[in-house]
A and B are shown apart, each in its own frame.
Chain A
Amino acid sequence: DAKTTQPNSMESNEEEPVHLPCNHSTISGTDYIHWYRQLPSQGPEYVIHGLTSNVNNRMASLAIAEDRKSSTLILHRATLRDAAVYYCILKGAGGTSYGKLTFGQGTILTVHP
């Protein structure tokens, strides 16, 4: 499975933007970039995903590098409820990795009031 690399932790202040980076230099042409987050004592929650173009939804934005070897999850205004572990994951479209999510250690985001 193609791997992703994320910083272990990041900190932000409430109401400020947060940029969470992810490197995935071995991404294949058919892998989608997915982001999930896990709040304490809860199951992972889908945030956003994309293939090549930047994506926006009500939770966040996803900026994908032109060569697709890195991406950035953008939380436009962090709130205390955004404090969580954020996982960047490549979801395969074929072969043995079809449909599979392989979780790394993720980035622990701390939001300060």
Chain B
Amino acid sequence: EAQVTQNPRYLITVTGKKLTVTCSQNMNHEYMSWYRQDPGLGLRQIYYSMNVEVTDKGDVPEGYKVSRKEKRNFPLILESPSPNQTSLYFCASSIQGANYGYTFGSGTRLTVV
């Protein structure tokens, strides 16, 4: 089944403890992206990647890092999480180009205390 898989689904952590949220897709998509969703602010793009070793900042990149060493994986790294990064995170992938839809993962609910 074509899908985007995120792990974990739920995570509670403490301020400053480094964490990684994994994202993997099995559709050979070039384009991958991370979004966060917050009440009243909607979905905002954090980082995106057009292909292996090509990443760029989205609208809210502060406090996050990403890497794209393989086409299928696009992990989101929080080096020193803070409470304002408590949010619902979604990974998405797409074939390159505007004429293709995105496939989203099921989400990771992160709480930083």
Contacts and interface: CB of A to CB of B under 8 A. Distances in A.
Interface string B9-37: 00000000000000000000001010100
Contacts of B104: 43-45
Contacts of B86: none
B44 to A, nearest CB: 8
Contact of A44 (B96, B99, B102): B102
Interface residues of A, number: 25
B99 A32 contact: yes
A103 B35 CA distance: 10
User: Interface residues of B toward A: which range?
Assistant: 20 to 34
B98 A43 contact: no
Contacts of B106: 42-43
Contact of B45 (A42, A92, A102): A102
Contact of A100 (B48, B96, B101, B103): B48
Interface string A57-76: 00000000000000000000
A46 B97 contact: no
Given A100-B45, A104-B42, A46 B98 contact: no
Interface of A: 30-32, 34, 36, 41-46, 49, 51, 91-93, 98-106
